[in-house]
Amino acid sequence: MSAVAVDGVRTRRTAALALVAVTAVWGSTFGLSKDLIGRLPVADYLGLRYLVAATVLVVVCPRLLRVMSPHTLKVGAGLGTLYAVAQLLQFHGLAHTAPTVSAFVVAMYVVFTPVLAAAMPGRDVDRTTWSAVAVATAGIAAMSLRGWAFGAGETMTLVAALLYAVHILALGRWARPGEAFALTFVQLATMGALLTAVGASDGLTLPGPGDLPTFAYLAVVAGAVTLLVQTWAQAHLDSGQASVLMVLEPVWAAVLGALLWHETLGPRTLGGGALVLVAMLMVVARPAAEPVPEPPTSHA
């Protein structure tokens, strides 16, 4: 194997591990957000969270404004709008759904992503990815599903999962390593502006002093950092791999729920988590199913 090929394998594995870390942060947000939206309107919380995240990103990397291209602006605005709608649906659903059920329903993007990918002209999904999807779905079902009744909260969350699948596919198609900071910033700024506008329609509610540490974590770490890492990682992984890796999120939600919120980890939770780990290993162990295009020279 050539040095370039070895570097490519290492980069893909690093990207896979980075997405695992992202899911750990995402898993920590269910309990924190459930608590916070009990005191803040959903749109206010989300809009302010992503405006803060965008501000932090541009302060850390002001160069991203100089390398911004019309293409990045157009793609980032589209992706940000899609993600904003998904977030609004997910968190309105979370207000009416138990966190564990919400975690399962959101994780259905692992099923939607390869199905949507297979429906696209010229796209195909290999057997290993389909197998990993089946194993991960069984694991999440065993871990989180408690009956099949779907109320308004579950329905909103399921629609959000479908939109997340579209976002994963679009991000995998358009993300380039050299554009990670700029594309992430445009997405965050778009999300923050749109959601704040929705929240401002009846007046904005700011987080209280006691909520500021939690809000800062959700905005900076779970907002700016995770979307930046996701954007970079998906430039090196195909969408099917990314979707299965990111389904580890509910496993972390269950583990952190037990450690921080004293939730019980029963046999179903442990068995389901083990299945999701198997699915993750299936994805990490296989080579990328689709080539990763080089970033345009004008964005380097």
| Per-residue tokens: 46 | 């989300």
pLDDT for 214: 93
- Sorted by where each begins, the domain ranges of the chain are 11-287
Contact 116, 169 (CB under 8 A): yes
Tell me which residue of 158, 75, 168 sits closest to 114, measured CA to CA.
Answer: 168
pLDDT for 92: 92
Buried-state track 176-196, b at ≥16 Cβ within 10 A, e below 16: bbbbbbbbbbbbbbbbbbbbb
Q: How many CA atoms lie within 13 A of 172 on its CB side?
A: 22
Tell me which residue of 23, 48, 26, 27 sits closest to 37, measured CA to CA.
Answer: 48
Contact 103, 30 (CB under 8 A): yes
Buried-state track 103-123, b at ≥16 Cβ within 10 A, e below 16: bbbbbbbbbbbbebbeeeeeb
pLDDT for 290: 44
pLDDT for 174: 80
pLDDT for 45: 93
**Entry pTM:** 0.77
Contact 27, 256 (CB under 8 A): yes
Contact 113, 169 (CB under 8 A): yes
- What's the rounded Cα separation, in Å, for the pair 140 and 105? 9
Residue 136 phi/psi, 5-degree rounding, is: -65, -40
pLDDT for 298: 24
> Which parts of the chain have pLDDT scores under 70?
1-6, 123, 144-150, 177, 284, 286-300
| Sign of the torsion formed by the C-alpha atoms of 198, 31, 23 and 279 | negative
Radius of gyration of the chain (CA): 19
Contact 203, 58 (CB under 8 A): no
pLDDT for 31: 83
Distance of CA 130 to the CA centre of its chain: 20
- What's the rounded Cα separation, in Å, for the pair 202 and 165? 31
pLDDT for 147: 65
- What's the rounded Cα separation, in Å, for the pair 158 and 164? 10
- What's the rounded Cα separation, in Å, for the pair 244 and 73? 28
- Helical axes 127-144 vs 249-260, angle rounded to 10°: 30
